[in-house]
Chains A and B, each alone.
Chain A
Amino acid sequence: MEKAVKRSKAAAKPRRVGSRFNKKNTKKFIIAIFVYLVLFDLAFVFLYPFITMIIDALKSEADLLNVTVKWIPSELRWDNFKTAFEGLNYLTYFKNSVLVTLISTIGHTFVCAFIGYGFARYKFPGRGVLFAGVILTMLVPTQVLIFPMYITFSNWGWLETYLPLLVPCFFGFGLRGGFYVFLFRQFFMGLPYEMEEAARIDGCGPLKTFLKIMLPMSRSSLLVCCVLSIVWHWNDYFEPSIYLNQSPSLALLPSKLPAMYAALNQVASEAEDISVSGDVIINQAVCMASTFLVILPILIAYMFVQKQFMEGVERSGLTGM
């Protein structure tokens, strides 16, 4: 059956090729080439840091010192990854990071969608002031509020647990919580109003309308929120380093990177091998390999979500209906 379809397609092809040489198709072809050229150029700029990172991660000490070796190392040092893997204590911290990232992403995605819906669709006194408050939470960096926060959490006995990282996410706060509220507000504003109105006339309550009608329609914004939340939580090292200061067993995966880079920068000019608290010998290559290992899980996760993101939504656009 499939073969038959293929054959019929193959038979149809020559005709199309023949008609390609008319004026309209030539124009299309030139535009396509131009688009690809622009995209590849831009992609290079975007990929540049990533490529340098991988190449540096594979260099040997001699290559790191040699300025002429930029793109092609004389030998590939796969051992750097092994050293990095051991130095990061990868498996232990990987589990911690996955746990924290998953829980906080679930909290952010659902609760911020809920809050954002309220801001997008309901008018009530004080809405403007409250929304200005959301903008303010986006604007003030964590660093400024960290001292009073630390005192609060220590009064509640939450220090050295994951609670300060997880609980605020379920109230629309936490790492960039305000941004997700804003995101959902904007996306919901773009959706047509008719379906909710119909649901309300049919006697559907506000909660049910939100869960059964709005959430299924906002697949793409939910996915974007998920992706961004996963990436930002995974990479965050500032808050965990403050709240989990005394308990190494709870540490998250990226928490070792700043220490590694700091140690590296101290002796950067000498490019010698140095060791961080007697764990492993590190150099620039090992640092790069560690960085690569830290972001590898979210890279893989993104590649999967990216596909999801583009498939189902393709023909189901609702904006402007």
Chain B
Amino acid sequence: MAANKSKKKMMTMRTRRSLEGVMFISPWIIGAALFFIFPLVISIRLSFSNLVSVAGFQMEFIGIDNYKYLIQTSTTYVPNFLAEVKDTAINTPITLVFSLIIAMLINKDIKGRGFFRTAFFLPVLLGTGYVMQQLLENGMSNVVSVPDSILMAIGPTFSTIVSDFLIRITEVLWKSGVQIILFLAGLQGISGSLYEASRVDGATEWENFWKITLPLISPIILLNFIYTMIDSFTDSGNQIISDIEHCFENGALARGAAMGWLYFAFTFIVCLLALFIMSRLTFNQGER
């Protein structure tokens, strides 16, 4: 009895920490059981089945036929898939660099800060709704355009490259409001005394950026990286996502689910890899 008690006490330190951790996560675990796991399982099962009737969700297991169709028969799925991956690979780094630069500029003690901070967030206010999509469809991404005379001078091939680039930048900028505000919050958290101390020691702004700012906001860089990637992968203007929606609207639930899960499996692996690699590189004060 006594031995049992002392053993219990020895275990407590570690077990208690674990239990405390589980306590903090418990709302999420309950939520997953209530709102996530059932729909997830149904949706994955659906992708391997043939829907007999929509009313009671009667399914008939058909193996990987839905997936086979997508890869072997469908002419649009694989090209769209690759196009989305390429788009994300290009847009993510551009978004991160631009939003970090903008956040650093408006974190400075400048006049009209409030105005700029509101301006840079406006596309987010508009963007999650219906409006931005409408604006993009109406060809409004030509906001930053080069005068025609210059385009003529540099020739047609080069000018399409330039204007494509500008359109991409504009779209990227419009989508970077969330990243800017996250970086801003991260920059706000850095203690001013650090910069003061390094200035006294004779460090330049450039050194400060690499030695203080970047390491201290690295958790936020990771956050923004994953967010930007997921935002790009699941954007409603994305061809794959709109194809899936189209399938659902037409009642082809099983095919839509298969399209979705092949895509999510890939993006999930990419995100986890990115998370794993980047957590090695980030500087975490809390991790012991």
> CB within 8 Å of B: which residues of A?
32, 35-36, 38-39, 42-50, 52-53, 111, 114-115, 117-125, 127, 130, 132-141, 143-145, 147-149, 151-152, 168, 170-173, 177, 179, 181-183, 186-193, 206, 210, 220-221, 223-224, 227-228, 231-232, 235-237, 254, 257-258, 261, 291, 294-295, 298-299, 302-303, 306-307, 309-310, 313-315, 317-321
Contacts and interface: CB of A to CB of B under 8 A. Distances in A.
Nearest to B18: A124
B42 interface: yes
Interface in B19-60: 19-25, 27-32, 34-36, 38-40, 42-43, 57
Contacts of B186: 187, 190, 319
Given A135-B271, A173-B31, A317-B191, A144 B122 contact: no
Interface string B162-183: 0000000010011001100110
Contacts of A114: 24, 27
A120 B181 contact: no
Interface of B: 17-25, 27-32, 34-36, 38-40, 42-43, 57, 102, 105-106, 108, 110, 113-126, 128-132, 134-135, 140, 143-144, 170, 173-174, 177-178, 181-182, 185-186, 188-192, 194, 212, 216-217, 219-220, 222-223, 226-227, 230, 233-234, 241, 244-245, 248, 253, 256-257, 260, 264, 267-268, 271-272, 275, 282, 284-288
Nearest to A149: B39
A310 B31 contact: no
Which of A45, A130, A192 has the largest number of chain B CB atoms within 10 A? Answer: A45
Most buried by B among A52, A171, A193: A171
14 contacts: A42-B120, A43-B120, A46-B120, A46-B174, A47-B122, A52-B135, A114-B24, A173-B36, A182-B226, A182-B227, A190-B219, A190-B284, A193-B288, A317-B191
Given A317-B192, A320-B190, A257 B285 contact: no
B130 A257 contact: yes
A186 B219 contact: yes
A297 B215 CA distance: 37
A27 B257 CA distance: 59
B35 A49 contact: no
A139 B234 contact: yes
A307 B288 CA distance: 35
Contact of A254 (B129, B223, B244): B129
B114 A220 contact: no
Contacts of B123: 46, 49-50
Contact of A220 (B21, B27, B129, B189): B189
A321 B21 CA distance: 25
Contact of A39 (B43, B106, B173): B106
Q: Which of A120, A124, A132: most chain B Cβ within 10 A?
A: A124
Contact of B29 (A130, A183, A236): A130
Contacts of B267: 139
Contacts of A291: 126, 129-131
A127 to B, nearest CB: 7
B117 to A, nearest CB: 5
* Interface core residue of A111, A171, A310, A319 (most chain B CB under 10 Å): A319
* Residue of A144, A220, A227 with most partner-chain B CB within 10 A: A144
Nearest to A193: B286
Given A36-B110, A135-B275, A257-B129, A118 B192 contact: no
B181 A39 contact: no
A206 B113 CA distance: 39
Contacts of A140: 40, 260, 264
B68 to A, nearest CB: 20
A43 B242 CA distance: 31
Given A190-B285, A320-B212, A124 B185 contact: no
B137 to A, nearest CB: 9
Nearest to A175: B128
A317 B187 CA distance: 9
B222 A186 contact: yes
Contacts of B275: 135
Given A53-B131, A144-B257, A179 B227 contact: yes
B27 A147 contact: no
Given A152-B39, A190-B219, A319 B189 contact: yes
A189 B264 contact: no
A34 B124 CA distance: 26
Contacts of A130: 25, 28-29
A313 B121 CA distance: 19
A320 B189 CA distance: 9
B18 to A, nearest CB: 4
B285 A261 contact: no
Contacts of A227: 181
A317 to B, nearest CB: 4
Nearest to A168: B35
Given A36-B110, A261-B134, A313-B189, A124 B22 contact: yes
A297 to B, nearest CB: 10
A151 B22 CA distance: 30
Contacts of A320: 190-191, 194, 212, 216, 285
B28 A115 contact: yes
B28 A134 contact: yes
Nearest to B108: A35
Given A45-B143, A317-B191, A228 B178 contact: yes
